[in-house]
Structure 1
Amino acid sequence: MDNLVSIIMAAYNAELYIDQAIQSVLCQTYNNWELIIINDGSQDNTPLILSKYSDEPRIKIYHQNNKGVSAARNKALQNMKGHYFCFLDADDKLTPESVSVRVTAFQENPQVSFVDGTISLMNSTMSKELWEKKHSVAGSPYNSLIRLEESYFFGPTWMIKKEKNTTYQLREDLSHGEDLFFYIEICKGGGQYMSIPHKTYLYRTGNNSAMGNLEGLADGYFKIYSLLKSMNLTTKELKYFKKRVCSILFKSAIRKTNILILRQTIQFYFRKN
């Protein structure tokens, strides 16, 4: 039997798009999956929509009071049974072969721990490829994550091989950048990364996403920097991370004419610790 894949979805007030997200999983060409959905205290019709799938044995639905996306994902991580796992946001979609092509990559490359695919942006009128992936096997992606290389750290495209005696948990005190820090933590121990030239994930734009919240993004980066200092990074690695963060935030603040973020970024850059 093919290895089980756990697909993890946190949902909060997701009535507009969650049905499309679930349907994209049901349409997978790879059949041995479980979809774990955590309804994180939704106040809209999300619970009603989820009730339509109560008879689908591969879909496991949990309800909890609103605790945030990291707490919701952690609940799913604690309950997953899969040999591999990945995340799917409730307003995004998987391509039909998303699971299949990544599982195949694992099977053909048993030394690999993380398989990454191509992501496309979508809205009501278009779908546009964001990053082109070339077929390659690299070493640990840890250094690339620290350097904030864009083609590495967009987390939803990753599928992860679950390792024995490893606890997978996101920081619940991070409201932004929690997925980046999660990948940094699990990659610190090693494991090879592989990218494949297949479109695997459709990311919905223009939906008040966390990526568009510049203030929250800045706060997340600043907190991650503080956390990284406790992880025995070299001075060179910390300086590079700070430089990349400042470059990203400075360009975004200029584009959005956000004086507050400009000021915070400059203060962060010249801070000595």
Structure 2
Amino acid sequence: MTTLDIMLPYYGNVALMQAAVNSILAQSDPNWRLTVVDDGKEPDVPGWFAGLGDERVSYQRNEKNLGVTGNYRKCLGLVREEHFVMMGTDDIMLPEYVATVRAALAERPGTGMIQPGVQVIDGEGALSDGLVDQAKRRLYAPKVQGTLLMSGEELATSLLRGNWLFFPSICWRTEAVRTAGFRDNLEVTQDLALVIDLLVAGEQMLIADAVCFQYRRHAVSISSQQAFTGARFAEANRFFMDVADRLDAHGWPQAAKASRRHVSSRLHALTMVPGALKNRQSEGARTLLRHVAGSDHR
């Protein structure tokens, strides 16, 4: 079986990025290749990578900032293997991640997506189990013992009710993602859009219960102006409505219904309302409440 390509589109905190890279270096299965594409300008980063001395690690810095989607596209263009991971620069691979994913690929060669078991950690690296993650695990995520293969309208409906995936932990089939591509007009829903595109194209997802990845969820500061504008939910609503129309045309009425309702997204918006009010974001609070009430639904 081929080597696993690990792509790391980097921008931001240097220490967290270094922790992510060190977690890759500590993998029990050595059959991986790491490519880091630096979209920032931190002065000491190139030298740190040069000092690693591991031929499996390659590093390059963009001449100009490409932004999130642009850097994703560049990373995708650099993938050389049949499967890859687009890891977050503040996440952690537990030592058995590569071994777990490669074992899953041996079980189901050519699988479009593999979602292994994930722990959520906070900004300090401690295990975290907030309300949003509890709801995803208990209400929306399928119950898996060992592995479970899902696809089609069943999986699309499940994810549109509540997106329980962890994008940076997913292993993707390279050609499937290159065919689907990343969308220009999406940011917070880019991951779900890609998965829905792949499901419509006939790809399958293998879900494994083996916990081998840590996803870092940073707390939303009550003093953050941008967090409570409601902009992310305006984007989410456009996405869900567009997907509903598309899935109706595709002959997946249950998935289309789930997309129009997008219950989990609306509940998430509800949890943000107190912060918007406390932060004097009155227009943001109105945007959030419209999303919660479904008043902007067709």
Shorter-chain TM-score range: 0.7 to 0.9
Is 1:13–1:42's contact at 8 Å kept on the other side of the alignment? no
Distance 2:43 2:184 in 1: 24
Q: Which residue identity does 2:205 align to in structure 1?
A: Y
SS of the residue 1:17 aligns to? helix
DSSP 3-state at the match of 1:126: coil
Q: Which amino acid aligns with 2:16?
A: Y
2:215 aligned with 1:190? no
For 2:193 and 2:185, the matched residues in 1 are separated by 11
1:251 equivalent in structure 2: 270
**Which segments of 5 or more consecutive residues in structure 1 lack a partner in the other structure?**
none
1:267 correspondence with 2:277:
no
Unaligned 5+ segments in structure 2 are 138-142
Distance 1:208 1:31, change over 3 A: farther
The 8 Å contact of residues 269 and 288 in structure 2, kept in 1 or not, is answered as yes
Deviation at 1:208, TM superposition (A): 6.3
2-side partners of 1:253 and 1:92: how far apart? Answer: 24
> 1:195-214 counterparts in 2 under 5 A?
195-206=207-218, 213=227
Give SS of 1:117's match. strand
Who is 1:143 aligned against? 157
Name the TM-score, length of structure 2 as normaliser.
0.76
* Pairing of 1:162-201 with structure 2 (within 5 A): 162-163=174-175, 166-201=178-213
Shift of 1:261: 4.3
Assess, with a 3 A threshold, how the Cα gap between structure 1 residues 58 and 172 changes in structure 2: closer, same or farther. farther
Measured on the aligned residues, the alpha-carbon RMSD in Å equals 3.0
Q: How many pairs align?
A: 267
Provide the C-alpha distance between the structure 2 equivalents of 1:11 and 1:91, rounded to a whole number of angstroms: 9
Deviations 1:214-256 (A, max 9, x none): 5353143134235425634356544422322552344322453
| Contact 1:3-1:83 at 8 Å conserved across structures | yes
Distance 2:90 2:176 in 1: 31
Which aligned pairs between 1:92-107 and structure 2 lie closer than 5 A?
A: 92-107=91-106
> What TM-score results when the alignment is normalised by the length of structure 1?
0.83
**1:24 and 2:38 correspond:** no
Whether contact under 8 Å (1:102, 1:159) holds in the other structure is yes
Query: Take 2:113 and 2:145, find their aligned partners in 1: how far apart are those partners?
Result: 15
Counting aligned pairs with the same residue, the percent is 18
Retained in 1: the 8 A contact 2:76–2:178?
Answer: no
Return the offset for 1:110: 3.3
Q: What is the CA–CA distance in structure 1 between the aligned matches of 2:296 and 2:194, rounded to whole Å?
A: 25
Q: After superposition, what is the alpha-carbon deviation per residue over 1:43-100, rounded to whole angstroms, capped at 9, x for unaligned?
A: 45434433434x4321222221212122111111111011211121111110101111
SS in 2 for 1:171: coil
Match of 1:61 in 2: 59
Task: Work out whether residues 10 and 90 of structure 1, in 8 Å CA contact, stay in contact via their aligned partners in 2.
Answer: yes
Higher helix residue share:
2
Q: Give runs of aligned pairs for residues 34-53 of structure 1, distance below 5 A.
A: 34-43=33-42, 45-53=44-52
Match of 2:145 among 117, 122, 134: 134
